[in-house]
Amino acid sequence: MKSSSLRRNVLLLSLPLVLAAVLLVIVGSGGIVTAGHEDMPPHGIVCTENASPDGKSAIFSLSTMTGTISLPDGNRVYMWGFSAGGDPFQHPSPTLCVTEGMTVTIVVNNTLDHDVSLIFPGQEDVLANGVPSTPVVDAGTGELISLAPVATANGGSMTYSFVASQPGTYLYESGTEPGIQVNMGLFGALVVRPLAGPNFAYNEVVVSGTVTYTTEFMPDEEFLLIFSEIDPMLHMAVEQGLPYDMNNYTSRYWNINGRSFPDTIAPNGAEWLPDQPYGSLIHINPFNDDPAAGDAYHPHPALIRYLSVGTENYPHHPHGNHGRIIARDGNVLIDGAGQDLSYERFTITLGPGQTTDEMFAWTDVEGWHPTENPIPVTIPQLQNLTFGTFYSGSPYLGATDLLPVGHQALNACGEYYHISHNHALQQITAWGVVLSGHITFTRIDPPLPNDCP
Amino acid sequence: MRKENLTRELSRRQLLKLGAGLVGVTAAGAVVPKALLKPDRVVEASPAAQDPIIGVYRHFAATDGWIYLPGANPPYHPDNLAPPGLTTYIFGFRDVTSIEGNRDLIFSQKMKCQLTSPMFWLDEWRNENPLDPHDNTTDFTLKLTNLGLQIRPDLIDAHTLHFHGFRNAIPIFDGEPHSSVGVPIARDLTYFYRARDPGTYMFHCHFEETEHVHMGMVGGVYIRPKQNFLGGASAPIARLGGSLDAAAPMGYVYNDGDGSTAYDREFALVMNEVWSLAHWCDSHVQLPEWSDYNPDLYLMNGRAYPDTIAPNGGGTDSATGDLIPPAGRPELKYQPLSSLITCNSGDRVLIRFINLGYVEQSMRLTGIKMRVVGRDATFLRGRGGNDLSFLTDSVHIGAGQSVDAIFVAPDVTEKTVLKLFSRNLAHLSNPGMPGLGGPMTEVHIYPAGTLGDQAAANDWGGA
């Protein structure tokens, strides 16, 4: 059994944390319910939450940090980031989760020697220190300084607030020197949950005849993937305080949740990636909407929230099945008359600064079984094939079989793996390392009950 | 739905966990289901399942080869190692089904692959015999043989064939070598699919994919809907489904029920591009830095304009197993797929756009609007039955995506030529050459009744 999502953990932890938050608020420090890495579920979304006891508001204190991240070619790249409360540097910045209707307050404390700001694409009527957040223009030169009021360098702060009026998946990112600062890591995700419930992406439904389609997903199968890219020359220039000309911008690394494959499939909070806590493995069970299936009953798809902070369109291709795109940029694909505008794709275009919500499921349509329904072709003997690290040795879900002596096998219980990757294949590399970059995997466990770790 | 726990039956690890190792086999036999006692190390196949050729069968070979592309970009293009008349080193596939059984002839096709790969199509599984849950008349098997690389004997790369977009795939047949297996040199693997979902798909090698896909191991595959055979509520059985009614459409793209995806002619355009430096690196035992990706030739069915409108190749020579070049174009021997679109006035013409390059394309048809009826092998219709298709003159298509677009040929009194090309004008030239090149083709519209039926997709119908 895989662990429950953090959201559930947060519920379990909520009483002491809420108490702590309340105590902190009482002493005026501003409390953040922040998941320590040891509390993270191995896979799936990791939420940072801090709702007020009455559920009407949430407050987050984000401090700028500097640090480095590890990349598969052995390079370490200097980064900036936001961390919640007193947390150490992390990349990407924390995923903030709130509920529809909450008043969200984000206090930015800036320790960098550059001015920093935040913009919240998709949020309306954002306030900065209580007045509408608007672009900042130099009064003397007329030069556009920032897309939002800044927390000034070396100790300034700025408080942004808005009402999270519409459920969905959103970005928050720097509005100051954004070409440089977003590449440096000043970005994160904001998830607004609907009033319909924590296992729904949106409130709306599509009614077609006797069938009602909702956006409900399996509670343990919510994933969030932020696609980004890095020009290491930009980072070196910033680290050394040198100027950088954006006309020379050339991406060399392509990351999901701040990691490049194979690090992407390491668990959340993996100890060998101390500053890159968010994994990207899509860990699901087979879809099965037959209530008579017992433990194998698995009647909803997974929800995958895709976000891109890159500079070009990424064509993301999950193997194994199509995904159904149910929303873009926090806007559910249902029109005002209740008509379904959602669609299935085998390759999803993630535009710069866009978010896309996808329902994803895999169904065992053929039901192959070693004795009752064998695959109708013969698999060659071991010496006549090459074997992948994730292969179980058997074509059958839930079965394992012999692999060549000395083969490095990571398959645990006959589970299936499908790659999920950017199909601009020059971007599944890491500055000379191939099979890296924008790759993660979907892991499909055998139907429950199983003994998968 | 599977109710059984396969792990319980098969895993030795599980058996040990259950404590079966502590009891005698006889005792275990008394209390443990028989299946538990079977050895778990042999993939079991039914006794008759020695790769029977059922349904549709293809045999593909994977190897390297050389093609002709116009222009010059020294020192990489043309490649100084290329045979006379050819310019560019590639990896790719060949369809060797017609010489099946002659393994020597198949292996003589080493260094004779083509760009783009042979196109093929399947009929959707119809389950025509409900008493047989595995009615296999439309089941699909593809045997892949790795012939090795003639120019790079040091590269002992395996190959695979990934069916890009096939739904609910299982890893062993998905061709992604990390989650399953690859085919080493001189070995075979047979893939199996039951074509359940109509639409336009693609295939490519997934072994060291950044290199192998760019080197040309790409092609189109599509699944024709069962509505061709069964008809729909207001859609007659199609000619491809056996109708003899000349007024019936040739086929449908999807099971639309209302004939809205009917077509009379079909053409597939597989888009990709060539970064000459990367191809030169492969023939010269070098490695490119992929983040410098900078293609200099953009192709349509493996050719650059004006070669795109040259004829289709002549198929496979049964004596040599080699390809027969297009008429009058010996240098296009290994680029057999024409992109010329021919039709009669009034024809509904289906274009299946497939992008297996690494960059987006925006394909513009001048003069006629296209109706996009499908994307990524998905009929553009909402779950409530609402129409999501749309008219356009520019089809946007990202890497690894497909688009189904239909246009209706206008009335003409004499042959009329329109252009279909990538609106990214920076792609629309051949290196070092003046004028237009790259991913451009033509639509030739004839007066009604001029052309005969297509023998297959991309056939000119006698034009």
What ipTM is given for this predicted complex? 0.90
The CB density around residue B317, as the number of other CB atoms within 10 Å, is: 12
Residue B43 has pLDDT above 90, yes or no: no
| Strand spans (E) along B124-209 | 140-148, 162-164, 181-182, 188-193, 199-204
B352-356 mean pLDDT: 98
In Å, how far is B432's CA from the nearest CA of chain A? 25
Query: Is B352 inside a domain boundary?
Result: no
Q: What is the pLDDT of residues B271-288, one digit of tens each?
A: 999 999 999 999 999 999
A73 touches chain B (CB under 8 A): no
Do residue B10 and residue A423 have CB atoms under 8 angstroms apart? no
Domain span at residue B17 reads 6-37
Q: Is residue A93 part of a domain?
A: yes
pLDDT at B126 over 90: no
Span between the terminal Cα atoms of chain B, in Å: 51
Residue in B1, B194, B378 closest to A293 by CB = B1
Model confidence at B370, in pLDDT bands (50, 70, 90)? very high
- Nearest chain A Cα distance for residue B152, angstroms: 19
B208: left (phi over 0), alpha (psi -120 to 50) or beta: left
A37 vs B13: which has the higher pLDDT: A37
Q: What's the pLDDT score for residue B17?
A: 39
Are B32 and B83 contained in the same domain? no
- What's the confidence (pLDDT) of residue B115? 98
Is residue B105 a part of any domain in this protein?
A: yes
pLDDT one-digit tens code per residue, A274-290: 999 999 999 999 999 99
CATH of the domain at B97: 2.60.40.420
Query: Are B18 and B90 within one domain?
Result: no
Question: Please, are residues B163 and B193 in contact by the beta-carbon 8 Å criterion?
Answer: yes
Kindly state whether residues B155 and B214 are assigned to the same domain: yes
Residue A408 lies in a domain: no
Asked if A363 and B14 come within 8 Å (Cβ–Cβ), the reply is: no
Task: Mark whether B15 and B153 lie in a shared domain.
Answer: no
CB contact under 8 A, B209 and A425: yes
Q: Which of A384, A388, A434 sits opposite B180 (nearest CB)?
A: A388
The reply to whether A60 falls in a domain is: yes
Instruction: Find the mean pLDDT for residues B246-257.
Output: 97
Task: Tell me: do B28 and B134 sit in the same domain.
Answer: no
Task: Count the domains in chain A.
Answer: 1
Cβ within 8 Å of B, A 190-229:
206-208, 211, 213
- Residue recorded with tokens 């009917």: B262
* CB neighbourhood size of A3 (10 A): 16
Residues B62 and B32 occupy one common structural domain:
no
* CB spacing of A342 vs B383 below 8 angstroms: yes
| Domain residue limits at A170 | 6-195
Residues of B in contact with A401 (CB under 8 A): 10, 40-43
Does residue B194 form part of some domain? Answer: yes
How many structural domains compose chain B?
2
Query: Can the peptide bond before residue A449 be classed as cis, meaning omega within 30 degrees of 0?
Result: yes
Determine whether the interchain pair B293/A394 forms a contact, defined as Cβ–Cβ distance below 8 Å. Answer: no
B188 lies in the same domain as B67: yes
- The strands making up A348-350's β-sheet, listed across from edge to edge, are A282-284, A439-444, A416-422, A314-318, A348-350
List, for residues A374-420, the tens digit of each pLDDT value.
998 999 999 999 999 999 999 999 999 999 999 989 999 999 999 99
Q: Please give the residue of chain B at the shortest CA–CA distance from A262.
A: B178
Mean pLDDT of chain B: 89
Residue A45, domain member (yes or no): yes
> Do residue A384 and residue B378 have CB atoms under 8 angstroms apart?
no
Residue B3's pLDDT is what?
A: 33
Same domain, B202 and B61: yes
Q: Confirm or reject contact between B184 and chain A (CB < 8 A).
A: yes
B108 touching chain A per CB within 8 A: no
Residue B65 domain-assigned (yes or no) = yes
- B7 pLDDT more than 50: no
Tokens of B275: 């970064």
Please tell me which of the candidates B180, B192, B399 has its beta carbon nearest to residue A376: B192
Amino acid A18: pLDDT: 37
- Residue B443 belongs to a domain: no
Digit-coded pLDDT (tens) for B168-204 = 999 999 999 999 999 999 999 999 999 999 999 999 9
Q: Provide the pLDDT for residue B56.
A: 85
Can you tell me the distance from the alpha carbon of A357 to that of A305, in angstroms, rounded to the nearest whole number?
5
DSSP class per residue in A73-132: TS-EEEEEEEEETT----SS---EEEETT-EEEEEEE--SSS-B--B-TT--S-EETTEE
Q: Which of B295, B274, B298, B329 is closest to B437 using CA atoms? A: B298
B158 to chain A: nearest residue by CA? A386
Residues B60 and B157 in one domain: yes
Is residue B319 scored above 70 in pLDDT? yes
> pLDDT tens digits for A223-232?
999 999 999 9
For the stretch B391-448, pLDDT in tens is 999 999 999 999 999 999 999 999 999 999 999 999 999 999 999 999 999 999 999 9
B200 and B101 in a common domain: yes
The residue in chain A having the minimum alpha-carbon distance to the alpha carbon of residue B162 is: A319
Contacts 24+ apart (CB under 8 A), A66-72: A66/A112, A67/A91, A67/A275, A68/A275, A69/A258, A69/A259, A69/A275, A69/A276, A70/A263, A70/A273, A70/A275, A70/A276, A71/A230, A71/A253, A71/A260, A71/A430, A71/A431, A72/A260, A72/A261, A72/A262, A72/A263, A72/A430, A72/A433, A72/A436
Q: Give the mean pLDDT per block of 10 residues along chain A (453 residues).
A: 37 38 34 59 96 97 98 97 95 98 98 97 98 96 96 98 98 97 98 97 93 96 98 98 96 98 96 96 98 97 98 97 98 91 97 98 96 93 96 97 93 97 98 96 97 90
Asked if residue A293 is part of any domain, the answer here is: no
Give the chain A residue whose CA is nearest to the CA of B210.
A425
Between CA A216 and CA A223, with CA A221 as vertex, the angle to 5 degrees is: 105
Q: List the 2-61 stretch of B: residues with Cβ below 8 A of A.
A: 2-7, 9-14, 17, 35, 40-46, 49-52, 54
**Dist. CA A260–CA A433, nearest whole Å:** 10
Q: Is residue B135 part of a domain?
A: yes
Summarize the confidence of residues B139-151 as an average pLDDT.
96
Evaluate whether residue A41 is within a structural domain. Answer: yes
Confidence of residue B114 (pLDDT cuts 50, 70, 90): very high
- Whether B411 maps to a domain, the answer reads no
Residue A167, domain member (yes or no): yes
CB-CB neighbors (< 8 A) of A434 in chain B: 208, 210-211, 290
Residue B290 lies in a domain: no
Residue with tokens 């040091």: B154
Of A207, A387, A447, Cβ closest to residue B2: A447
pLDDT for the residue numbered B134: 53
Q: Are B32 and B171 members of one domain? A: no
Query: Is the confidence at residue B262, as pLDDT, over 80?
Result: yes
- In this complex, do B213 and A377 lie within 8 Å of one another by their Cβ atoms? no
pLDDT of the residue at B61: 98
B120 and B21 within one domain: no
